Amino acid sequence: MEVETKYKRVLLKLSGESLMGDHEYGIDPKVLRQYAEEIHSIHSLGVQIGIVIGGGNIYRGAENSGDGVDKVTGDHMGMLATVINALALQSTLEHHGMFTRCQTAIDMERIAEPYIRRRAVRHLEKGRIVIFAAGTGNPYFTTDTAGVLRAIEIGADVVIKGTRVNGIYDSDPETNSDAKFYSLISYDDVFKKNLKVMDMTAITLCKENKLPLAVININVKDNLKKLILGEQIGSLVNGNAPVIQ
């Protein structure tokens, strides 16, 4: 019996930092396995999945621009870091029995397909998980923006941002115990309150294309599956949320 899901095609955005686990840098295999299990839980429901992952566990262009590396070069280095993470995630997903494709915005055909929208959609229709690496292929654009852009291009129903907190707050809940939680918020209120959900370019793209953004704690077991099945998990940003006074 087929299970009814709230979303049929999703774009999952993961940060590179999340892959570090308890380490100071690099990739924690335990985190990869955990993410693979969470992704498998929704893939088995028939959900079509695209993934964009950052590279901050290896190199952060913006933060390292003071080390003698210019901004454009640093951003290109960051794009290459996302490819390393994408390949690691791809291998782990395949060890969990899922079929995948890795597509990159920078041509490197010996290790990954070039990003072609129609081909990506065809992979999704065939049940393959598509990992989009190297951001947009352009400096000055974050992987948040790349995630929203790819979601729009493939016709995803929602962007799901996996974080280590339970959703969207008015301040950092890890440092402020009184931080206010928003279960539902509009794009405009994200702008007005300058909430650090995604960068403003990504939020603008979501708003202009009426693309919902869900923010969940990806480290809580079954959160991703519960969201897909329609439970109220984390925070949702869309155009129908009431205005916050």
Where in the chain are the domains? 9-238
Q: How confident is the model at residue 165 (pLDDT cuts 50, 70, 90)?
A: very high
Neighbours of 125 (CB within 10 A): 10
d(CA 107, CA 113): 8
Q: Please name the fold of domain 9-238.
A: Carbamate kinase (3.40.1160)
The helix-helix angle for 117-125 and 143-154 (nearest 10°) equals 70
pLDDT at 94 (0 to 100): 98
Enumerate residues 6+ apart whose C-beta is below 8 A from 23: none
Check whether 61 has a pLDDT greater than 70. Answer: no
d(CA 188, CA 75): 29
Check whether 67 has a pLDDT greater than 90. Answer: no
pLDDT at 108 (0 to 100): 96
β-strand pairing of 129-133 with 100-104 = parallel
In percent, the amount of the chain with pLDDT more than 90 equals 87
Range in 58-67, 69-78, 118-127, 205-214 with the lowest mean pLDDT: 58-67
Check whether 171 has a pLDDT greater than 60. Answer: yes
Output the DSSP codes for 132-194. EESTTSSTT--HHHHHHHHHHHHT-SEEEEEESSSSEESS-TTT-TTPPEESEEEHHHHHHTT
d(CA 116, CA 102): 11
Check whether 27 has a pLDDT greater than 80. Answer: yes
Mean pLDDT of the chain: 93
Neighbours of 30 (CB within 10 A): 10
The pLDDT of 204-218, averaged and rounded, is 97
pLDDT at 244 (0 to 100): 66
Range in 22-26, 73-77, 128-132, 211-215 with the lowest mean pLDDT: 22-26
The pLDDT of 67-79, averaged and rounded, is 89
Check whether 2 has a pLDDT greater than 80. Answer: no
In percent, the amount of the chain with pLDDT more than 70 equals 94
pLDDT at 65 (0 to 100): 52
